[in-house]
Amino acid sequence: MDNDHTKSTEALEKELAEARARIRELEQRIAPDSAEQLGNDVFEHHRHAVFYLDPSNGDIRWVNLAATELYGYTREEMTSLNVSDINIMPLEEVAPLMKQVRDRQRSRFLFTHRLKDGRLRNVEVYSVPMTLEGRDMLCSFVRDVTDMMDVQTVAEKSEAMQNSVLSSMNLVPFSMRKSGSYELLYIGATVERMTGYPAERYYREPELWLSRIHPDDIGRVGSQFRRLEKEGASRCDFRWQVADDSWRWFSLNMRHAPCEDGNEDCICVMGLCWDITQRKRVEKKLLEREERYRTIADFTHDWEFWLGPEGTFLYVSPSFERMTGYRPEELKADPDLLFNSIIHPMDRDYVHNALIDGLHSTDTLSFDFRIVTRSGEVRWIGHVSQVVYDDKGDPMGRRASNRDITGLKETVQALKDRNKFIDSFMENCPATIYAKDVDGRYLFGNPRFMEYTGRPAHEVLGKTDYGLFRNNIAEQFRSGDTRVVQTGKPFFEEVTLVLESGIEHWTSSKFPLVNAEGRTLGVCGISMDVTKWRETEVSLRQMTHAVEQSPVSIAMLDTAGRIISVNPYFCTKSGYTEKDILGRKLGFLQADEDDLYDRIWKQVREGRDWHGEIRNRTRSGDILWERCSISSVRDPNGHIVNFVVVKDDITERKRLERLEKDVERIVRHDLKSPIMSFIWVPRSLRKAENITEEQSLMLADMEESAHRLLRMVNLSLDIFKMEEGSYEFSPEDLNIMRVIQNVLRDLAGATRSLKVEINVLRDGTSASDGECMVVRGEELLTHSMLSNLIKNAVEASDKGDTVTVDCRQDKENTTVRVHNRAEVPEDIRDTFFEKYATSGKKFGTGLGTYSARLIAETQGGFINMKSDAENGTTVEVSFPTRSNGACD
């Protein structure tokens, strides 16, 4: 940059000299009063700014166009200014400099000028004295060098920074050129600090560098220069005698670089040199220690090895065999043994990559891995290794130490498991767990405790009970804490809290927290909300009392069917004591030798309740009929844990039922004899010759009525068989439409007296007299069933009502719907088809609908009823349809 300034100054001096010479030449040719104008003409269009200054006071007398363009003023504005108006230096400092110019002592200056817009610019000024019209003047040439000086400043800073970095790193940069022999082009100033010789000495004495190399290292250095010429790069370490005559180790790195002049016949070399004396001393100590290391490693408990740069094992300590079961010689002979057999399969890739990649890294390695010993045992190994270097600084592989850390791993894992267990316990425990210091401030609370307080942890920890609960509750809690702190003993209590939301019952167990010296640090507590348990306990006591006082037998069984508890009534009815009953299975009471209890037990174990009647025998041998219900008890997960047996004594009812059946059987048998007389007597009288036609018809009606009565008696016998399950059903093709017509003829008198009409429909439209719809059934049963249903509908209707009988048939079933406008009383709707179910009928027995249900089910059909105030009552009965459904 200084060279650039010098060149520019020389150019200005040359231009100014030429201008002055031209002015003097022209001054001789023209009048003196035109000399000033002549100077103006010469400099008016000069490319640099030109000033005429009065050296006595610094006033600006004249400027050219370039000056107005540079400073931004007009010519009139500038000629009214003083030099101090544009120079940031005050006039008293500029005046001595103008005097130096006038005395021809100095001509070049660097100033900072201020432009009209306020910007500052660095300018180079060249001034010379002149005389115009008898007055002393200074003619100044001004050039803006701001940009040039900015570049120079950056370059100077960059060079200074580079020198600082190199100096701090103890590096000496240099460059050489070889055109025959090596010529030093540049060497950094830091060379003086490293060697004691200034940089100028190396320029002046090229042989200095070579002459100070240690004799033993001359050959190695020379070979590296030959390698440089051949390969374009080289590196070597050597000893060099510095200025104080001591020997120091240096490392030299060199590389070819293009020459600046573009000469391809010469070779330019760039390089760095740095002091490695300290490193060499460390390496020497390491080598000295290496021998000691091998000796120690042979006897150490850990497994030591040295892995060479090529991945081979240079050394393996004897402890390798103790830890792995393999001899060191086996590993040296086959390095893959470590990765293929010894290292655990799940860790092989990681360890292999770490060790092999580590051969090219300077980092210290530390990691854990598993091995499989020769005996198959898995052990944990802790590995630490670092790079080893030779005296040239080249890596020689990795030296490693491997320690068996199986015990440590197991301990750490046990601690992790324990901590995980504790954390899991704290997180999921349904109890509130907390810890306080001796002053009652909360130190810890598990999630259940925070949930109970209704606040996050940061709002609870550090506070006392008085900051979280009402005073009366806080006093309860604090009294228990104080007792534990004072006595140093655990304390258990049951606490009842009266809250706005109700009463809560809690059990609280508190114990002291002590340090290793036995000093009490605080209180830890575990509290459980037992409000529901207390309520359940009360309910259980009430239930137990109810069970004990119940007039039915109640027993509890385990999942194996053994009796585990009974109420007093069970003992009273069976005649056995509680001691005799407990532990036995329910079947020991059975009076009959069959598999009933086995079938019952199979059903209830499948989760299905059983309801039925059982014939048992008391301890005294009496028969005990009981209606029994057995149901399962399940836990919250739905698993069966117990069975409950509830039995009611129905022995007396069974006796009455048998008596009723006996009476019915006797009555039906005794009725059949007189009925037969009503059949045979009219039939015999009709054969007499003196009987009129009217009398014959009357006798025929009597005979038909007797037959009908006999059929009714027989039907009652059939109903009894159906109840007993002994009825033998004999289906036949039956025209249901004809049966309905027969029923209507039987009910004609009733319908006339009650003034109720009956409409027979087929598929919703009126049916004709000759309609045919074939079903499978027995005519007597079907006639009786439909007669009961239609008669009930007629009797329940009001005068003027209409009963509809609608028959519908598909491929599977034929249905008959009997509808009337009356509503079945709500109290018997659920038991409409049960025996003796009746309501509101003066002479109703409740047997008509009961027998209809038995008949429908016996014939393979079904029956149901729907009734409400709006739609009336519809009874629907179904029959199986004959296969072709057509009438013959």
pLDDT in tens, 196-209: 999 899 988 988 98
Q: How many helices (H) and strands (E) does the chain have?
A: 30, 33
pLDDT score, position 780? 85
Assigned fold of 169-275: Beta-Lactamase (3.30.450)
pLDDT score, position 347? 93
pLDDT score, position 40? 60
pLDDT tens digits along 665-706: 665 566 666 777 677 777 777 778 788 888 888 887 787 777
Say if residues 442 and 456 touch (Cβ distance below 8 Å).
Answer: no
pLDDT score, position 42? 63
* pLDDT higher than threshold 90 for residue 332: no
Beta strands in 466-544 (DSSP E): 491-499, 502-514, 520-529
Q: Which two tokens stand for residue 190?
A: 């830091």
| Stronger pLDDT, 155 or 715, i.e. the higher one | 715
Cβ burial 406-445 (10 Å sphere, 16+ → b, else e): beebeeeeeeeeeeeeeeeeeeeeebbbbbbbbebebeeb
pLDDT tens digits along 476-502: 889 999 999 999 999 898 888 888 778
Q: Stretch 368-392: mean pLDDT, rounded?
A: 89
Other beta carbons within 10 angstroms of residue 273's beta carbon come to 24
**The CATH number of domain 550-649, selected from 1.10.540.10, 3.40.50.720, 1.10.1040.10, 3.30.450.20:** 3.30.450.20
Comparing 35-39, 273-277, 420-424, 431-435, the range with the smallest average pLDDT is 35-39
CA pseudo-torsion sign 340, 343, 349, 353: negative
pLDDT tens digits along 394-403: 788 888 899 9
Q: In angstroms, rounded to a whole number, what is the distance separating the alpha carbons of residues 62 and 139?
A: 10
Q: Stretch 732-758: mean pLDDT, rounded?
A: 89
Q: Stretch 23-33: mean pLDDT, rounded?
A: 46
Q: Which two tokens stand for residue 673?
A: 């004899």
* pLDDT higher than threshold 90 for residue 808: yes
pLDDT tens digits along 61-71: 999 999 999 99
Q: In angstroms, rounded to a whole number, what is the distance separating the alpha carbons of residues 809 and 798?
A: 30
Amino acid of residue 567: N
User: Does this chain's domain 281-411 share its CATH topology with 550-649?
Assistant: yes
Q: Stretch 819-843: mean pLDDT, rounded?
A: 77
Nearest to 735 by CA among 787, 789, 771, 784: 771
Q: Which CATH architecture has domain 429-532?
A: 2-Layer Sandwich (3.30)
Other beta carbons within 10 angstroms of residue 819's beta carbon come to 20
Q: What are phi and psi of 515, to 5 degrees?
A: -90, -175
Instruction: Kindly indicate the confidence band of residue 31, based on its pLDDT and cuts at 50, 70 and 90.
Output: very low
Show the CA angle centred on residue 533, arms to residues 527 and 535, nearest 5°. 130
pLDDT score, position 263? 64
| Stronger pLDDT, 264 or 116, i.e. the higher one | 116
| Stronger pLDDT, 53 or 678, i.e. the higher one | 53
pLDDT score, position 21? 59
pLDDT score, position 691? 83
Q: In angstroms, rounded to a whole number, what is the distance separating the alpha carbons of residues 416 and 428?
A: 18
Paired strand residues for 562: 585
Say if residues 383 and 366 touch (Cβ distance below 8 Å).
Answer: yes
**The CATH number of domain 2-151, selected from 3.40.50.620, 3.30.450.20, 3.40.50.11540, 3.90.1200.10:** 3.30.450.20
- Average pLDDT of the chain? 83
Q: Stretch 772-794: mean pLDDT, rounded?
A: 89
Assigned fold of 281-411: Beta-Lactamase (3.30.450)
* pLDDT higher than threshold 50 for residue 512: yes
Amino acid of residue 81: L
Instruction: Kindly indicate the confidence band of residue 22, based on its pLDDT and cuts at 50, 70 and 90.
Output: low
Comparing 423-427, 717-721, 788-792, the range with the smallest average pLDDT is 717-721
Other beta carbons within 10 angstroms of residue 489's beta carbon come to 10
Nearest to 740 by CA among 765, 763, 710, 772: 772
Cβ burial 180-191 (10 Å sphere, 16+ → b, else e): eeeebeebbebb
Helix, strand or coil for residue 585? strand
* pLDDT higher than threshold 60 for residue 165: no
Q: In angstroms, rounded to a whole number, what is the distance separating the alpha carbons of residues 644 and 635?
A: 14
pLDDT tens digits along 611-620: 998 899 999 9
pLDDT tens digits along 364-379: 889 999 999 999 999 9
Q: How many CA atoms does the CB half-sphere of 153 hold within 13 Å?
A: 7
pLDDT score, position 34? 43
Cβ burial 349-376 (10 Å sphere, 16+ → b, else e): eebbebbeebeeeeeebeeebbbbeeee
Amino acid of residue 198: P
Task: Supply the CATH classification number for the domain 729-880.
Answer: 3.30.565.10
pLDDT score, position 249? 93
Q: In sequence order, what are the residues at sequence separation of 6 or more whose Cβ sits closer than 8 angstroms to the Cβ of residue 484? A: 490, 491, 510, 511, 512, 523
Q: In angstroms, rounded to a whole number, what is the distance separating the alpha carbons of residues 406 and 370?
A: 9
pLDDT score, position 167? 52
Q: In angstroms, rounded to a whole number, what is the distance separating the alpha carbons of residues 302 and 403?
A: 5
Q: In angstroms, rounded to a whole number, what is the distance separating the alpha carbons of residues 332 and 146?
A: 72
Say if residues 53 and 78 touch (Cβ distance below 8 Å).
Answer: no
Nearest to 494 by CA among 527, 524, 470, 519: 527
Q: In angstroms, rounded to a whole number, what is the distance separating the alpha carbons of residues 632 and 561?
A: 11
* pLDDT higher than threshold 80 for residue 16: no
Domain ranges of the chain: 2-151, 169-275, 281-411, 429-532, 550-649, 729-880
Categorise residue 643: left if φ over 0, alpha if ψ from -120 to 50, beta otherwise: beta
* pLDDT higher than threshold 50 for residue 269: yes
Q: In angstroms, rounded to a whole number, what is the distance separating the alpha carbons of residues 326 and 329?
A: 8
Comparing 161-165, 453-457, 725-729, 738-742, the range with the smallest average pLDDT is 161-165
Helix, strand or coil for residue 107? coil
Q: In angstroms, rounded to a whole number, what is the distance separating the alpha carbons of residues 836 and 785?
A: 16
pLDDT score, position 382? 92
Q: Percentage of residues in the chain with pLDDT exceeding 90?
A: 27
Q: In angstroms, rounded to a whole number, what is the distance separating the alpha carbons of residues 764 and 775?
A: 19
Comparing 166-175, 368-377, 753-762, the range with the smallest average pLDDT is 166-175
pLDDT score, position 27? 45
Comparing 432-446, 523-537, 634-648, the range with the smallest average pLDDT is 523-537
* pLDDT higher than threshold 60 for residue 832: yes
Q: In sequence order, what are the residues at sequence separation of 6 or more whose Cβ sits closer than 8 angstroms to the Cβ of residue 299? A: 318
Radius of gyration (C-alpha) of the chain in whole angstroms: 63
Cα-based distances in Å from 692 to 20, 388, 681, 729: 186, 148, 16, 43
pLDDT tens digits along 274-316: 888 888 887 777 666 655 655 555 556 788 888 888 888 888 8
End-to-end CA separation in angstroms for the chain: 135
- Which residue do the tokens 């231009």 mark? 15
| Stronger pLDDT, 745 or 358, i.e. the higher one | 745
